[in-house]
Amino acid sequence: MRFVSTRATAGQAAHGATLSEALARGIAPDGGLYVPERFPALGTAEFDGCATLPEVAERLLAPFFAGDPLAPQLGAIVREAFDFPVPLVRLHPSPAGGVDDDAHVLELFHGPTAAFKDFGARFLAACLARIPRADSRPLTILVATSGDTGGAVAAAFHRRPGTRVVVLYPKGLVSPRQERQLTCWGDNVTSLCVEGTFDDCQRLVKAAFADERLRAGYELSSANSINVGRLLPQACYYALASLETWRRAGKAPGFVVPSGNLGNVLACVWARRVGLPIGAILMGFNANRTVPDYVERGEWRPRPSIATLASAMDVGNPSNMERLRHLHPEWRELAGAVGAVSVGDDEIRARIRADRGALGQTWCPHTAIAAEAYARLSPGKRSGTPWVLVATAHPAKFPETVEPLIGAPVPVPEPLARLLELPSRAIPIPASLDALREALP
C-alpha cells in the first residue's frame, strides 16, 4: 500500500510514500495530507471471529500495512495501543423520560487521558517506536491542540527514547483541566502557551514543516490528525461498533460524530468506504459553522474560530476538509455523503440538563452536541435505524461547565486524577514562527 498527497495531480507519484514514511513525515513534501492510494474492499464476513478492538483493528489495518516493514508487528502495535475498553452502551431511559429508538453511545473516553485522542496517539507512538531511523537526531513531534489532542500525544510519547514532543495550545481557550493535562509532563515534552487561537497554533505547525531552517535543524513529525497515523486507528472503533450493531440488529448503524478538525469523522467515512456496515454519518459542530455552511450551500469559506463551551471543536479552518474533499471532490457528492448541524452554547447547556434528567447520562460539552444533533433527527430518520452517538471525552474534564448544569459533582476517573496532581509547566509565546523557532528544544 502506498500513500499519496491530497495535492498530487493525477498520475503523479513523486510524493508517494510507504506507510512508515507517511507516519514519520506527518505531512507530504508538497504540503498536502497523506491518503491511501486506494481503499481495500472488506466485507463483514472477513471480520468473522473478530470480537475485540485489537482483533478488528488487525484485520482492518492489514491491507494498509501490506508491504511495509511494520506489517509483521501490526498485531503487537494494536494490542499495545488499544489496551483499554471501548464500550457501546445503550441509552437507557430513567423514570423521568426515555427513548424508544435503537440508540447507543460509543464511549471513547476510557483511555489514560479520558478522551478519544488516546486511540490515535497511542497507536502512532507504538508505530513510530518500531520504525528504524537512520537519523540520529531525536524525532521532534509538533502538535497543535484545541484541548485533548496535546494531552493524549504527550501521554503516549512521554519518556519514550528518541522522541521529543512540542505541544502548542491557545492561551485561555482550553478548560483548566485540559490545560493541566497539556502542561504536567516535563522531560521530553515541551508545552507552549500561544497568544492566539487554535487556528494560529495549527498555522504555526504547518509553517514549521515548510520552514527550511527548521527542517535542516530538526527531524520533524506531527501527531495532529494531519498525520494519517491518527486516522487509521480511529477507523477501528467505528468498525467495531458497526460490526457489533450489525450482528445484533442486522442493520447498518448511523453515527453522530462531534466534529472540529474533522479527523474523527473522516475516520468514520474511511471505515464506511472500506466496506464496514455504516449508514448515515451526521457531523455535529459548535458555533463554528465553516463546514455546516459548506455542506448546506457549497461555499468553502474558512474563518477565524469562535470560542465556545465545546472548546476542543473551536476550529474555523479544519485541516481534514482537504482529505474529505479529496475523497468527495464535488460539493453535492460530499453533501450526500455526510450531514452537518451546528449547535450553540445555550443548546449545549440545555441538552446536558435534559439528558441528565431524562436518560441519566452526563455529557461533556462535545458529546452534548452529538446528543443534540441526534435529538433533532426527524422521527422517520430515527425510527428503524440503529444510531450511535460518539462520546469523545469524559465530562470530568469540564467541571466548570457540567457540574453547575447537573447540580452535582462529576466523579474524576483515576488516570485523570493522577495527572491533575502533577505540577504544571508552560512557556508563553506569541503566535509567530520566530517565537516557535526560539522555543523549540
* Residue matched to cell numbers 501521554: 155
For the cut 90, the answer to whether the pLDDT of residue 379 exceeds it is no
| The predicted structure's pLDDT at residue 346 | 98
| The predicted structure's pLDDT at residue 273 | 98
For the cut 50, the answer to whether the pLDDT of residue 95 exceeds it is no
The whole-number average pLDDT for the span 127-154 is 87
What confidence tens digit (pLDDT) does each residue in 344-375 have?
999 999 999 999 999 999 999 999 999 999 99
For the cut 70, the answer to whether the pLDDT of residue 332 exceeds it is yes
The whole-number average pLDDT for the span 194-199 is 92
The whole-number average pLDDT for the span 300-309 is 94
For the cut 90, the answer to whether the pLDDT of residue 325 exceeds it is yes
pLDDT band at residue 222 using 50, 70 and 90 as cut-offs: confident
CA distance 71 to 58: 10
The whole-number average pLDDT for the span 303-319 is 92
Share of the chain above pLDDT 90, in %: 80
| The predicted structure's pLDDT at residue 202 | 87
| The predicted structure's pLDDT at residue 12 | 60
For the cut 60, the answer to whether the pLDDT of residue 14 exceeds it is no
For the cut 50, the answer to whether the pLDDT of residue 217 exceeds it is yes
For residue 107, is it within any domain?
yes
| The predicted structure's pLDDT at residue 226 | 84
Start-to-end Cα distance in the chain: 35
Q: Poorest-confidence range of 128-142, 181-195, 274-288?
A: 128-142
Q: What is 71-93 written as a DSSP string?
A: GGGHHHHHHHH--S---EEE---
Number of domains observed in the structure of the chain: 1
- The three grid cell numbers given for residue 318, joined into one nine-digit string: 479544519
Q: What value, to the nearest 5°, has the Cα angle with vertex 18 and ends 13 and 19?
A: 135
For the cut 70, the answer to whether the pLDDT of residue 98 exceeds it is no
| The predicted structure's pLDDT at residue 96 | 42
For residue 47, is it within any domain?
no
CA distance 253 to 91: 15
For residue 374, is it within any domain?
yes
Dihedral sign from CA coordinates of 163, 111, 43, 387: negative
Query: How many helices and strands (H and E) does the chain possess?
Result: 19, 13
Share of the chain above pLDDT 70, in %: 97
What confidence tens digit (pLDDT) does each residue in 246-290 have?
999 999 999 999 999 999 999 999 999 999 999 999 999 999 999
| The predicted structure's pLDDT at residue 97 | 43
pLDDT band at residue 11 using 50, 70 and 90 as cut-offs: low
For the cut 60, the answer to whether the pLDDT of residue 183 exceeds it is yes
- The answer to whether 24 and 221 have CB atoms below 8 angstroms apart is yes
CATH (domain of 336): 3.40.50.1100
For residue 214, is it within any domain?
no
| The predicted structure's pLDDT at residue 133 | 79
For residue 350, is it within any domain?
yes
**Residues spanned by the domain of 286:** 84-113+229-413
CA distance 304 to 173: 14
Query: CA of 366: how far to CAs of 63, 187, 311, 328, 392, in Å?
Result: 33, 31, 8, 26, 7
pLDDT band at residue 10 using 50, 70 and 90 as cut-offs: low
Give me the chain's average pLDDT, please: 93
